[in-house]
Amino acid sequence: MKVKYLLWLMLGWLFVVGVLFIAEYRAILIQNREMALSKARAFFELIVQSRIWNSEHGGVYVPVTEKSQPNVYLVDSLRDIVTINGMKLTKINPAYMTRQISEITKSKEDTRFHITSLKPIRPANKPDAWETEMLKLFEDRKTKEQIILTKSDDGKIYRYMAPLATQASCLKCHAHQGYKTGDIRGGISVTFPAGVFEKALIFQVRSFLSIQLLIAFFGTIFLFFYHRLAKKYNKVIESKNAELQHSIQTKDRLFQIIAHDLRSPFAHITGVIELLNSDRIKLDENRRNILLHNLEKSSHSASRLLENLLQWANSQQNKLLLNREVIFIRAIVSMSIEPYSSSAEAKRLKTVIDISTVAQVVADRYTLGVVISNLYNNAVKYSYEGGTILISSRKLTDGTEICIEDQGTGMPATVLSSLFSVENVRSVPGTSNETGTGIGLLVCKEFIELNGGTIAIESSIGKGTKVLINLPDNA
């Protein structure tokens, strides 16, 4: 994933979180307003029901006190009465009762009621600008209630107002004003501090903001690490794809070389067989023997090439099961070089095995034998006639070293540096024009490493080659 895609993803994520926050913030505002509205409605309904009760009873008499003086705006012949015990009573009508309840709630709960009308009987009930606006809307039936959040000298407040409809019991006092049952004759405004609601709002917003910030943070961190992980795995995938492509190309080239080198011995074998079976050509015994000898050499060459290919393929597919054990080195060397003794004799090569009969090594018998066979075959192939091949071993601190040294053609440093590379496998003919692909060295390297060891080659052109095998002691 490219960095610009990561940035777009992060911006997209933050945008989504921001949109969710804005949506939730609006929901919190609506909820907060609904809570304030519920409180205002509750107070309004309480006053309205109390007024209805008062009105249905034609007013309520209470003792005259400092706080309950006769209502000078109430025109009623029975406004003031005296009991037989001499107690003075005055009638409290719904409007007077509303004003007294408002004074009580204002002192205890900072909530104030104001009964008002566009035609107030009591001048103190005259509406303010906002109440006037609301009363006109009520009379025009354009709204049933209204609540606003505004500022006052004491801070932010909620103001709520709803209309008062004229009841039959109200006409006793208000019929002279022209009101009929059902008319909007005024309203009651409820005012209370918004502090409690604002605190709740701030707490909710801060809490949700904190949650959203955490979500945004951890979401961004997740995207960042996801990007790093995806980038890492993409690199691994790209690397594996490159390795796979390289492996396919290398093996294709290897198979081309093998096909080319197999064609030569098989073509020779076919030609010799056709010649031997021909009735037109008379061969003497000596010529026949030479052809049979060449046929044998070509067969061995093709067989050896196929065997190396099979062994290398098995090692690549992890099909080899190793059984590491203690092996007498001289014995396995003698057994492994025996198949090539005739080739060595044909070149009059002297093979010297400088290994003690009791020298031992820990390795898999089969794979070590294949390695020694391949290396000895190479030594024979690239040795000049009459030369010497020396096979020796020595004990190291933590293992054993086996050395196969010849006095043959040798190799330049440029070839040595890439000798064990699959893509650099190439066919180099021997001193007697023997064929080969170089795949045997790949098999040697694979098998020695499977045994936990290492293989190294020292060589100089015209001076020969020395192959050093180091195998650890631990089984």
Tokens representing residue 233 in the block: 């795995």
Annotate 164-180 with b (16+ C-beta within 10 A) or e (fewer).
Answer: bebbebbbebbeeeebe
Torsion over CA of 413, 418, 424 and 429, rounded to 10 degrees? 40
In sequence order, what are the beta bridge partners of 81?
Answer: 89
- Helix ranges, 57-128 (H): 94-109
> Residue 250, Cα to own-chain centre: how many angstroms?
35
Residue 427 near residue 437 (C-beta atoms within 8 A): yes
Of 159, 162, 130, nearest to 145 by C-alpha is: 162
> What does the DSSP assignment read for 376-419?
HHHHHHTPPTT-EEEEEEEE-SSEEEEEEE--S----HHHHTTT
pLDDT at 260: 47
d(CA 162, CA 151): 20
- Cα→Cα distances 172→59, 94, 388, 397, 407, Å: 11, 12, 143, 125, 139
Superfamily of domain 304-472: Histidine kinase-like ATPase, C-terminal domain (3.30.565.10)
Residue 57 near residue 167 (C-beta atoms within 8 A): no
Edge-to-edge, what's the strand order for the sheet holding 350-354? 350-354, 388-395, 399-405, 464-472, 454-460
pLDDT at 330: 94
Q: CB burial class (10 A; 0-12, 13-18, 19+) of residue 36?
A: buried
Instruction: For residue 3, give every residue at least 6 positions away whose Cβ sits within 8 Å of its Cβ, in sequence order, or none.
Output: 227
Q: Could you list the mean pLDDT of each consecutive 10-residue stretch along the chain, which spans 475 residues?
A: 74 87 89 90 87 84 88 83 90 84 74 85 86 89 89 88 76 60 80 87 88 87 80 83 74 58 60 68 70 70 64 61 88 87 86 92 88 89 92 91 93 81 71 73 85 92 92 78
DSSP 168: G
